[in-house]
Chain A
Amino acid sequence: MNLWQRLRPIRTRLALLLAVVGPGIITANVDNDAGGITTYSVAGARYGYALLWMMPIVAVALIIVQEMSARLGVVTGKGLADLIRERMGVRVTTLILALLVFVNLANTVSEFAGVAASMEIFGVSKYISVPLAAIAVWFLIVKGSYKVVERVFLIASAIFLAYVASGVIAAPNWSEVGRSLATPTFHLDVGYVTIFVTIIGTTIAPWMQFYQQSSIVDKGIQLKDYAYERVDVVVGSLFAVFVAAFIMIACASTIYKSGLNIDSAKDAALALGPLAGKYASLLFAFGLLNASLFSAAILPLSTSYTVCEAFGWENSVRRDLKDAPIFFGIYTALIILGAGIILLPIQSLIQAMMISQTFNGVLLPVILITMLVLINDKRLMGKFKNGRIINILAWTTTVILIILAAILIVVTFIP
Chain B
Amino acid sequence: MLHASEFIGRPVADADGKRIGKLKDLLAAHRGEVPHPLLVAIEVKQRSGSVFIPMHEVAALISLAIPLKKKISEITPYEPLPEDLHLVRDVLDKQIIDTDGMRVVRVNDLELTRVNGDVYVANVDISGVGLVRRLGLGSLADRLAAHPRSSDLPSIISWDNIELLSGDQPMRLKVPTSKMADLHPADLAEILSDLSRQEGSKILETLDIETLADTLEEVEPDFQVSLIERMTDDRVADLLEEMAPDEAADLLAELPQDRKHDLLELMEDKEAEDVRKLLTFPEDTAGGIMNTEYFLIPSNFSAAQVLERLRETAPEAETIYYIYVADQDEHLLGVFSLRQLVLAQPDALVIDFMEERVVTVDLMDSQEDCAQVVSKYNLLAVPVVDEQKRIHGIVTADDALDKIIPTAWKKRLPRFYQ
Contacts and interface: CB of A to CB of B under 8 A. Distances in A.
Given A15-B256, A90-B135, A220-B229, A312 B196 contact: no
Contact of B198 (A8, A77, A379): A77
Contacts of A144: none
- 5 closest A-B pairs by beta carbon, nearest first, are A312-B106, A77-B198, A220-B197, A90-B134, A77-B196
B93 interface: yes
B93 A90 contact: yes
Contacts of A91: 134-136
A90 B196 contact: no
B197 A311 contact: no
A127 B15 CA distance: 71
Contacts, number: 44
B94 interface: yes
Interface string B219-248: 000000010011000000000000000000
Interface of B: 93-95, 105-106, 108, 126, 131, 134-136, 168, 196-199, 226, 229-230, 256, 258
Nearest to A8: B258
Contact of B106 (A8, A85, A89, A380): A85
Residue of B93, B135, B136, B197 ringed by the most chain A CB atoms within 10 A: B93
Contacts of A94: 135
A152 to B, nearest CB: 20
Contact of B131 (A82, A86, A90, A222): A90
Nearest to A219: B197
B135 A86 contact: no
A193 interface: no
B3 to A, nearest CB: 13
A80 interface: no
Contacts of B198: 76-78
Given A86-B94, A312-B105, A380 B230 contact: no
B412 to A, nearest CB: 15
A312 B258 contact: no
A380 B89 CA distance: 12
A314 B229 CA distance: 26
B168 A380 contact: yes
B395 to A, nearest CB: 28
Contacts of B230: 222
Given A78-B196, A220-B229, A312-B105, 17 more contacts: A77-B198, A77-B199, A78-B198, A85-B93, A85-B106, A89-B93, A89-B134, A90-B93, A91-B135, A94-B135, A217-B196, A217-B197, A220-B197, A311-B106, A311-B131, A312-B95, A312-B106
Interface string A59-86: 0000000000000000011100010011
Contacts of A12: 258
A295 B258 CA distance: 37
B12 to A, nearest CB: 19
Given A90-B93, A380-B168, A312 B108 contact: yes
A20 to B, nearest CB: 12
A258 B283 CA distance: 63
A82 B196 CA distance: 11
A85 B197 CA distance: 19
A76 B95 CA distance: 14
Contact of A77 (B105, B197, B256): B197
Contacts of A312: 95, 105-106, 108, 126
Nearest to B96: A312
A12 B229 CA distance: 15
Nearest to B107: A312
Residue of A77, A311, A379, A380 ringed by the most chain B CB atoms within 10 A: A77
Contacts of B229: 220, 222
Interface in A138-195: none
Nearest to B226: A220
B101 to A, nearest CB: 12
Nearest to B89: A379
Contacts of A76: 168, 198
A94 B133 CA distance: 13
Contacts of A8: 258
Nearest to B130: A90
A245 to B, nearest CB: 36
Contacts of B93: 85-86, 89-90
A78 B230 CA distance: 17
Interface in A11-40: 12, 15
Nearest to A79: B196
12 contacts: A12-B258, A76-B168, A76-B198, A78-B196, A82-B196, A85-B106, A90-B135, A91-B135, A94-B135, A220-B226, A222-B229, A311-B106
A375 to B, nearest CB: 14
A311 B127 CA distance: 10
Nearest to B230: A222
Contacts of A82: 95, 196
Interface string A198-237: 0000000000000000000100101000000000000000
Residue of B106, B131, B134, B199 ringed by the most chain A CB atoms within 10 A: B106
Nearest to B170: A382
Contacts of B135: 90-91, 94
Contacts of B131: 90, 311
Nearest to B197: A220
Contacts of B105: 312
A77 B199 CA distance: 8
Contacts of B196: 77-78, 82, 217
A12 B261 CA distance: 14
A76 B256 CA distance: 27
A277 B305 CA distance: 88
Given A77-B197, A311-B131, A90 B108 contact: yes
Residue of B126, B135, B198, B229 ringed by the most chain A CB atoms within 10 A: B198
Residue of A8, A90, A222 ringed by the most chain B CB atoms within 10 A: A90
A311 B93 CA distance: 9
Contacts of B258: 8, 12
Nearest to A84: B93
A85 B256 CA distance: 38
A316 B398 CA distance: 26
Contacts of B136: 91
Contacts of B126: 312
A170 to B, nearest CB: 46
A146 to B, nearest CB: 14
